[in-house]
Amino acid sequence: MKGESMFRRVFLLLTVALPGTASAQTSDQIRSFQSIFRPIGAPAETVHRTDVLVLLICLGIFVVVGGLLLYSVVHYRQRPTDDDTTEPPQVYGSTAIELAWTVPPILIVIVLALATARTVGEIENPKYVSDPLKVRIVGHRFWWEIRYPKFNVVTANEIHVPVSYLSTPRPIELTLESADVVHGFWVPELNGKQWLVPDRANKWWIQPTTLGTYLGNCTVLCGLQHANMLIRVIVESPEDFDRWVSREQRPPTFEPNVAEGRRDFEVNSCGSCHTIEGTISNGIFGPDLTHFMSRKTLGAGVAPNDDENLKSWLRDPQVLKPGCLMPDMKLNERQVEQIVVYLRTLN
């Protein structure tokens, strides 16, 4: 029983902790951990094939080296009958042994280098079978700006994309940029990592073939809240994706009961950093809030987007996300309540 639980723990460690990072996210069918061993779509499958090849070669090396070591330890161990006064035979130089430890490693390195170069080539120069959907992603400390130029849609942190069917592949081309420091984009199930570098536009692509929500992280230490710069890729049916796009394109409508909250939002300079279409709020330093309610999380995935967390965020963002660049606006409780009423109408 004990042995079994030990085995399970080692297995979990190998399958969960090593390839991915555990995540505390909960909500709609997202998986609780990420894995490079569950590729979804063409680029991830290419990476996965190389991963498996490298792992198998390394496993082979481990077995051969470990086996030789074990054999030597057992076979040449000290025995009671040993004569300790004379040295064992000393060997100086052996062409056969030197060739054995030089030539195979060189061949292994060549195989690994060729396989890796081929994968890098396939990933970096994709041959799209159809016109890719273009999404522009800008990394900020500590959130993701997401733009769909074709649809004139701007959102943050949660990337909606249509699923790729075998009959109709839908590649998605990502242009990765940074507004401040170097960040890294990685959704393990969908592709390998790619950099976001200031003053540079790196290309990347995904082509997910299974519906669901996939989690990603920033992979470059970019400051205090680097760990809470989470990505959610929501892969939905083409129909759901079209519905999402039309919802994002609709200008918000304002009910009379949001007037006070809207005024509080505007007089407290929230609009210097955030945009809400159709209002004087047009800041670009923070996430666009025009369709804030279409997002499931707050603060780039730091907490679910519910009333309690939203109030906490408005009272002082530094509580949920210490070190984030949104300051405590010193709102009073009435203002917090009214701004929540306002934000809740931003569908």
Question: Which residues sit at the interface with ligand CUA, rule CB under 6 A?
Answer: 139, 142, 183, 218, 220-222, 226, 229
- Minimum distance from residue 273 beta carbon to ligand CUA (Å): 18
Closer residue to ligand CUA, CB minimum distance, 180 or 260? 180
CA distances from 214 to 28, 123, 195, 326, 329 (A): 11, 20, 19, 26, 33
Tokens of 234: 């929501």
- Minimum distance from residue 138 beta carbon to ligand CUA (Å): 11
Closer residue to ligand CUA, CB minimum distance, 190 or 314? 190
- Minimum distance from residue 286 beta carbon to ligand CUA (Å): 15
Bond preceding residue 265 cis, omega within 30 of 0:
no
- Minimum distance from residue 196 beta carbon to ligand CUA (Å): 8
- Minimum distance from residue 230 beta carbon to ligand CUA (Å): 10
Beta-carbon count within 10 A of 275 CB: 18
Closer residue to ligand CUA, CB minimum distance, 139 or 208? 139
Residue 158: strand, helix, or coil: strand
Pairing of strands 230-236, 212-218: antiparallel
Closer residue to ligand CUA, CB minimum distance, 50 or 157? 157
Secondary structure E strands in the chain:
133-140, 143-148, 153-156, 158-162, 172-178, 183-186, 194-196, 202-206, 212-218, 230-236, 297-298, 303-304
Give the Cα separation of 312 and 1 in Å (integer): 46
Closer residue to ligand CUA, CB minimum distance, 40 or 138? 138
